[in-house]
Amino acid sequence: MEAMKTLQLGTDGPIVSAQGFGAMGISVGYGDTDLTEARATLEHAFELGITLFDTADAYGFGENERFLAPFFAAHRDELVIATKFGLNRAPDGELTIHNDPAYLRAAADASLQRLGVDEIDLYYMHRRDPAVPLEEMVGAMAELVAAGKVKHLGLSEVTADELATAHAIHPIAAVESEWSLFSRDIERQVVPAAARLGIAMVPYSPLGRGLLTGVNHVDPKATNDVRNTMSRFQGANGEANQALLEPLRKIAETRQATVAQVALAWVHQRTAVWGTSVVPIPGTRSRTRVEENVGAVGLTLDDAELAALEPIAAEVAGARWDDPSFISSGRE
């Protein structure tokens, strides 16, 4: 396998592996986890050259950060640690958004303690609360940088206007938003704005929460798998979306690759298309899958293959998020 490529997040941000690791699924969202295999998967990802690891305080009530802490401690100087604030999950599962300065200061201190580090490399606002002036929130985030608690700032699921306003207050290194062959709404405004401002894009769910792997990993009886509540996976929608994978299957067969690798290769090539760093963060709890995902970094699709994949997003059945206020396109 080729050596991992690297990219820079933003004009003055950290140098990271061209593919990162999204750790949410270790703790929440996608069913039960084998923690022993999850630990081995983190180590294998590092062995394969992945240096950007992404978590959030909302993942498992802080448990995700705690789980990652020993791994981070073992490799601290070689990793870029990204975490987030802004989503508060109640015991009943309800999510609320908090952007006020007092909340984010306390959230940052709590994340530092759980992660066992003195400084967070990349600190994201997880979701936007329009009731809190952007100037107040970004100003408080900038204070964390000045205090040496945070190195670089990021935003998740913001509009193009919000991004431009925030970047004028303090440099933003990266925007994290869902982006895949099944979810391309951010290309309307957010991605062009990021490219214009020299801000990197960090796509989460670049495999469509598993839809773009070509394998159905969802247990319909699992009450702890969020996909069982998402319209893209249900009934006729799920069947229609599986049928959309046929062009990927054909390319995968020709290239002796997997469907997931073709889907990830498409995301990786957005760097060349948009002229700004695009670093997807697929998540997995399997050493086999992380190796498969990394294999996509060296796969370059030709013009004919890209053209065959172009129509897919317009035909996807079901919304990517049930509550549109949680995503940037719901506020454009």
Q: Is 39 exposed, middle or buried (0-12, 13-18, 19+ CB in 10 A)?
A: middle
Give me the helices (H) in 48-132, please.
63-74, 101-115
The angle, 0 to 180 degrees and rounded to 10, between the axes of the packed helices 35-47 and 63-74 is 40
89 close to 24: Cβ distance less than 8 angstroms? no
Strand pairing class (6-8; 87-89): unpaired
List residues with catalytic annotation. Answer: 59
CA distance 308 to 50: 30
212 close to 266: Cβ distance less than 8 angstroms? no
CA distance 301 to 261: 11
**In sequence order, which residues have a C-beta less than 8 Å from that of residue 309 and are 6 or more positions away?**
181, 247, 248, 251, 262, 266, 301
